[in-house]
Structure 1
Amino acid sequence: MKLTVLAATGGIGRHLLDQALARGHDVTAVVRNPAKLGEQPWARVVQADLATAGPAELRAAVEGADAVLSGLGAVGRAGIGVAEHGTRAVIGAMRQTGVRRLVVVSAAPVGTVPSPDRPHPPRHDPGEGPVLRYLLTPLVKRVLRAHYADLVRMEDAVRASDLDWTVVRPPRLTDKALTRDYRTAHGRNVRGGVSVSRADVAHCMLRSLDDPGTIRQVLGIAD
């Protein structure tokens, strides 16, 4: 399969790149700084700053791809806005080139965050237990308010597109090893799920490419 990976030097993006190459996929890695990839003889590399790039700059990166996988997300306050901007840009490039399949990573609390397209979201996610619902989720949403606002606008752009999309929403991310032993839930967060490894999120995103039941679906994921 021919894949394009956005933010391929990021926490999830690097796992997407490594796992996709290990499976024998033909991969194009889109990165702001190619030097961060190190020696990478097996992937085509396209340099682009996804905080500013437009569809025309990404067209060559996605043309001919079977799917685009995005690990976009802000690292620190300086990066806030990259998820929405970069995703809108790649959606534009995909429309221009006829590429249909898009898988993006978001975050578990986003389903209850208001957005321009969803000004009145549910107050609680059905997958949340009492501790998450009344303690952990409200706390995290206050601390990361701007990051989640960026992600929810990204999700708005994905939903408004005519693409075959999947949104994957993990809770707290860890650097634990790949287990393949994670839980998923359609349209809600995973009951009792508080963490998941970046490696397992990448595995789930790649696995969704072979599952038509994930098209135009939000997937919760957790250990």
Structure 2
Amino acid sequence: MKITVFAATGGIGRCVVDQALAAGHEVTAVVRDPGKVPSTVRAIRADLSEVDPNALEEAVSGADAVLSGLGPRNARQAGITSQGTAAIVAAMKATGTRRLLVVSAAPVSTTPSPGRPNPPRHDPAEGVIMRNLLTPIVKRVLRDHYADLAKTEDMLRASGLDWTSVRPPRLTDKPLTGRYRTAIEQNIRRGAFIPRADVAHFMLASIDDPATFGHAVGIAT
């Protein structure tokens, strides 16, 4: 299978690349510094904050799936996910590439956006402490980030592509377990953590799963 990975040197992106190579897939990595990816990976230099449409179309053309772990490295990069995803969607439409999986976040299930101004006030999986204490604090601290992810999901819903948005809770760097829970269009009850490697594992496993097409999927251990 031919897989294109955006943010391939980020936490989840590195896991996607490593696991895809181990599974025998042909990987194209879209990165700022090609020297940071394995020599067995086809690397295309691109910066999604300064989009080059030709480079992105080259990267996604012929891909069976495009996987994106794009996200801000700091508060100054708020907005990079929706900006970069818009460029990825445009490149995929231009080349006829259809399958797209992106990393979002659990709090987006209740974050309003222009295309979804009245989301549920609470996620069905939230317990009392999560609903009344933890989620409000996290959403207040990372307000701009979650607003951008919600805008990104708006783009996916309007894209016409076979998309999946993966909504993990707090990410860790623990090793791959392959043991996690998922739910369509809601978060995971008592699901507070998940290793980045498990998010990558789910994304790769879901490429050919039509049950995930056109949906946000909650995931947690």
TM-score scaled by structure 2? 0.97
* In structure 2, C-alpha distance between the alignment counterparts of 1:192 and 1:151, rounded to whole Å: 22
Corresponding residue pairs, total: 221
Instruction: Describe the superposition over 1:22-81 as per-residue Cα deviations: whole angstroms up to 9, x where unpaired.
Output: 1000000001222333xx121100111112215333000000000100000111112211
| Corresponding residue for residue 17 of structure 1 | 17
Q: Of residues 90, 96, 99 in structure 2, which corresponds to 1:98?
A: 96
| Corresponding residue for residue 3 of structure 2 | 3
Displacement of 1:18 after TM fit? Answer: 0.5
Q: Which runs of 5+ in 1 are unaligned?
A: none
| Corresponding residue for residue 195 of structure 2 | 197
Secondary structure of 1:201 counterpart: helix
Q: Of residues 214, 217, 220 in structure 2, which corresponds to 1:216?
A: 214
* Equivalent pair of 1:52/1:86 in contact (CA under 8 Å): no
* In structure 2, C-alpha distance between the alignment counterparts of 1:93 and 1:67, rounded to whole Å: 13
* In structure 2, C-alpha distance between the alignment counterparts of 1:157 and 1:164, rounded to whole Å: 12
* Equivalent pair of 1:113/1:121 in contact (CA under 8 Å): yes
Q: Of residues 84, 109, 112 in structure 2, which corresponds to 1:111?
A: 109
Secondary structure of 1:135 counterpart: helix
Percent identity between the aligned chains?
62
* In structure 2, C-alpha distance between the alignment counterparts of 1:133 and 1:5, rounded to whole Å: 34
Q: Of residues 29, 41, 44 in structure 2, which corresponds to 1:43?
A: 41
Instruction: Describe the superposition over 1:71-127 as per-residue Cα deviations: whole angstroms up to 9, x where unpaired.
Output: 001111122111101100010000000000000010000111111111111111111
- Does residue 32 (structure 1) correspond to residue 36 (structure 2)? The answer is no
Instruction: Describe the superposition over 1:125-157 as per-residue Cα deviations: whole angstroms up to 9, x where unpaired.
Output: 111111111111111001101111111111111
- Does residue 159 (structure 1) correspond to residue 164 (structure 2)? The answer is no
* In structure 2, C-alpha distance between the alignment counterparts of 1:169 and 1:54, rounded to whole Å: 28
Runs of 4+ in 1 over 6 A off after TM superposition: none
TM-score scaled by structure 1? 0.96
